[in-house]
Amino acid sequence: MNARVRNRFRTAALLTGVAAGLVLVLIAAGCGGGESSSAPPFSESKLSSLPDGDWITNGGSTFNQRHSPLDEIDTENVDELKGIWHVDLEGSGVADKYSGEAQPIVYDGVIYVVTGADDVFAVDARTGKKNWAYRAQLDRKISTVCCGWTSRGVALGEGKVYVGQLDGRLVALDQETGEVEWSTQVGRWQEGYTITSAPLYYDGRVYTGLSGGEFGVRGRLTAFDANTGEELWRFWTIPGPGEFGHETWPQDNDSWKGGGAPVWQTPAVDPELGLLYFSTGNASPDLDGRKRAGDNLFTASILALDAETGEYRWHFQEVHHDIWDYDAPSPVVLFDVEVAGEERHGLAQAGKTGFLYLLDRETGEPLYGIDEQPVPQNALQRTSKTQPIPSNPPFIPHEVSDAMLADVRAQLESTLGPRAPEPFKAPIFTPPSRTTSPVVPPGPAGGTNWPPTSYSPQTEMLYVCALVTASGYIYGTQTEFAEDPQPGKLNFGSIPVSTGFGESAGTFTAIDARSGRIAWQQRWEDSCYSGSVTTGGNLVFAGRNSGELQAYDATSGERLWSFQTGAGANSTPTVFELDGKEVVAFYAAGNSLARSAHGDELWLFGLDGTLGPVAPGHRAGSGDHAGDAPQDGGDAATPPDSPADAIRVEAGEMYFELATRSAVPGAVTFEVTNAGSLVHDFAINGEKTPLIRPGETARLRVQFAKPGTYRYVCTVPGHAQAGMKGTFTIRRSDGDAR
């Protein structure tokens, strides 16, 4: 982070201190072009119809299709698309711990967007001027954010903008002023509950899920009165005693109480069926199934509830008794197609497994066949005998390349030293044991992670963004392995060493909803890590880690337009109509896990635009790390009994900085301080610190018998791949560098 931005953060922190409790910062009164109007209580039919000019709900409609019927920008003229304006969001969310994943909402000429810091901005679409800004002032001590500080969007209705925050609060803002109208604690971050998804406004209610599957939570979806914030009902995604599905958990322990199944996404609604749909995250602990024998409903599942009452209607579990972190964070999509002469009400969810799960949304039955097939077993891990395998092909290759195997081998050696088992290629759903390390495709990154899938009613295709990854898993070698997982405590239960996020390849795939077959596929050297949007002009837009926003021919997959936005293009564009013309809004802010360049750019594109692309942003990495302003009271204090010869190591998102990178043979003590906002550890030559919480320091004494090069990594899933790795040299004792 440069000094300017750091100062800006300091100033913001100071201001908070002075104006304690004041969370509103008015940027400018009024706006350039006409008065904006207050959002009404949108009707169910309006919310579930294709967007007619505005973009009033996160998924475009409650079908989550992310399709705009506008057709002024099409395959013929999209190459003329240019910037009308772009503005910065005042440095909000630019530090490396943040990810910019929010899709803008648009109503009556105003764009509402939220940054990774949960700051909400109302921006005049005609001028780019800010009408107001809401500063969430999140507690910097929040230590239960799994996977980057992020928000995936806001909701709108009844004159309010709704935002779910990482501190577990759901907040309603006055749409005209940004002032807080009500705020309610949905779950406590201290117990592992955070909110990353956009809330859903529907039928006078606001629905939100809670994240936290890495922290031993019991997941739930909660409905609130949109006007008052009063809780109406909650649906626990892990059934309690006496409820349907509870029998899929052990009856002789309490593993269900912290069994996971968080909700990472905005639900979909079919008003005619009266059903609300969403999918769930992994079981907890992620990779340790010993104490949770059974299928573990409703983890890694698709659920249908009565939208009004929250009553269970049906479920489909994608992965039984998950021990690979194969959850389902990408939003479900609803669509209607004709299959074999019959009109079907479909539902799709792109899983981390790399499979697109296609169901009939009335019944939860597969549209094209999903067979329970036998899979390799491990008694200790209580593996499920079978797993559901869709008949439609996966959208990533389910293969482990030699390069992936070599990468996992190197990581295993640096993590475990001589104890490292020899990794081997294995099919998906192969369990690890105490002595073997199968490398399976994909790893915990996916397949499809959180990025939303889009659907075009014109092409009748679904557009799926995915990562091509593999992971080696070792079971039960984590020294701080928690025998009794506790709420709010990070617990994976194993060490996964994987490829993923920033360094993996990606696929962008069009899948025919009428058959489940792949219509076309783009294979990229970089991971596909953005949402997509389709239009009536037969276009599909998607973003790239490099910062380019791109448009493809929705039918053929041909790339037609590419535009450098200046920061990682890892969110989802919004297509809407402004004064009779089609425009595209896009928030480019980068991503902590994809390690793309950070920024705070909000763009508006149109055929009348005159602004060309900008220079690409700087990717985070060694020598260019940022981190946030210092932790409260966390001046990386040196413990008083610190040995004089300890090598200081600073860990942060997503980097290590070592005071020195070499030593002579013998014992070396590393003193690792976590200056970031997520938990980290430090592993080298078969030794490893415990997980270090933000602001804390751990010491690690390691024996190096021989000169050579030793790899170090953070073993929290995804962190090594995001940059937390490097090499340490042991020189000969006589001082000769090797």
Q: Which residue has the tokens 């104006």?
A: 19
| DSSP-derived 3-state class of residue 54 | coil
Dist CA 576 CA 307 (whole Å): 28
Catalytic residue among 288, 325, 407, 681: 325
Dist CA 224 CA 238 (whole Å): 20
Which of residues 67, 135, 680, 688 is near Cu ion by CB under 5 A?
680
State the sign of the Cα–Cα–Cα–Cα dihedral 152, 157, 163, 169: negative
> CB of 467: closest distance to Cu ion in angstroms?
18
Angle at alpha carbon of residue 167, lines to 164 and 170, rounded to 5°: 30
> CB of 142: closest distance to Cu ion in angstroms?
16
Asked if residues 206 and 230 have their Cβ atoms less than 8 Å apart, the reply is: no
Binding segment toward Cu ion, per CB under 5 A, in 14-22, 87-95, 503-511, 675-683: 675-683
Please, which residue, 554 or 716, has the CB nearer to Cu ion?
716
Binding segment toward Cu ion, per CB under 5 A, in 285-293, 640-648, 695-703, 712-720: 712-720
User: Is residue 719 within the footprint of Cu ion (CB under 5 A)?
Assistant: yes
Please, which residue, 443 or 452, has the CB nearer to Cu ion?
443
Q: Which residue has the tokens 């079978």?
A: 386
> CB of 724: closest distance to Cu ion in angstroms?
5
> CB of 685: closest distance to Cu ion in angstroms?
18
Please, which residue, 359 or 679, has the CB nearer to Cu ion?
679
Please, which residue, 148 or 199, has the CB nearer to Cu ion?
148
> CB of 468: closest distance to Cu ion in angstroms?
22
Dist CA 678 CA 695 (whole Å): 10
Token pair, residue 397, equals 């290759």
Please, which residue, 387 or 685, has the CB nearer to Cu ion?
685
Dist CA 329 CA 80 (whole Å): 35
Please, which residue, 467 or 716, has the CB nearer to Cu ion?
716
Please, which residue, 578 or 716, has the CB nearer to Cu ion?
716
Nearest to 477 by CA among 412, 428, 403, 541: 412
Q: Could you say which DSSP state residue 448 is in? A: S
Distances in Å between the Cα of 732 and the Cα atoms of 130, 662, 729 are 60, 10, 10
Binding segment toward Cu ion, per CB under 5 A, in 133-141, 428-436, 660-668, 710-718: 710-718
Strand order, beta sheet including 155-157: 155-157, 160-164, 169-174, 180-185
Binding segment toward Cu ion, per CB under 5 A, in 181-189, 414-422, 470-478, 723-731: 723-731
Helices (H) and strands (E) in the chain, counts: 3, 48
325 given a catalytic annotation: yes
Dist CA 440 CA 427 (whole Å): 6
Binding segment toward Cu ion, per CB under 5 A, in 126-134, 157-165, 256-264, 674-682: 674-682
Asked if residues 303 and 268 have their Cβ atoms less than 8 Å apart, the reply is: no
Q: Is the bond leading into 376 cis (omega within 30 degrees of zero)? A: no
Dist CA 366 CA 506 (whole Å): 27
Site string for Cu ion, 622-661 (x = CB under 5 A): ----------------------------------------
> CB of 691: closest distance to Cu ion in angstroms?
9
> CB of 166: closest distance to Cu ion in angstroms?
18
> CB of 83: closest distance to Cu ion in angstroms?
36
Please, which residue, 461 or 714, has the CB nearer to Cu ion?
714
Please, which residue, 210 or 654, has the CB nearer to Cu ion?
654
Strand order, beta sheet including 518-524: 454-456, 461-468, 505-512, 518-524
Which of residues 716, 717, 721, 730 is near Cu ion by CB under 5 A?
716
User: Hey, how many other C-beta atoms are within 10 angstroms of the C-beta on 664?
Assistant: 13
User: Is residue 220 within the footprint of Cu ion (CB under 5 A)?
Assistant: no
> CB of 29: closest distance to Cu ion in angstroms?
44
Say if strands 67-68 and 532-535 run parallel, antiparallel, or are unpaired: parallel
Binding segment toward Cu ion, per CB under 5 A, in 126-134, 276-284, 304-312, 711-719: 711-719
Please, which residue, 92 or 471, has the CB nearer to Cu ion?
471
Q: Is the bond leading into 442 cis (omega within 30 degrees of zero)? A: yes
Which of residues 47, 554, 714, 730 is near Cu ion by CB under 5 A?
714
Asked if residues 336 and 270 have their Cβ atoms less than 8 Å apart, the reply is: no
Distances in Å between the Cα of 283 and the Cα atoms of 168, 208, 292, 377 are 20, 19, 9, 18
Strand order, beta sheet including 647-652: 655-658, 647-652, 666-674, 697-704
Binding segment toward Cu ion, per CB under 5 A, in 239-247, 585-593, 687-695, 708-716: 708-716
> CB of 450: closest distance to Cu ion in angstroms?
19
Dist CA 590 CA 530 (whole Å): 10
**Binding-site ranges for Cu ion (CB under 5 A):** 680, 714, 716, 719, 724
* Residues assigned a catalytic role: 325
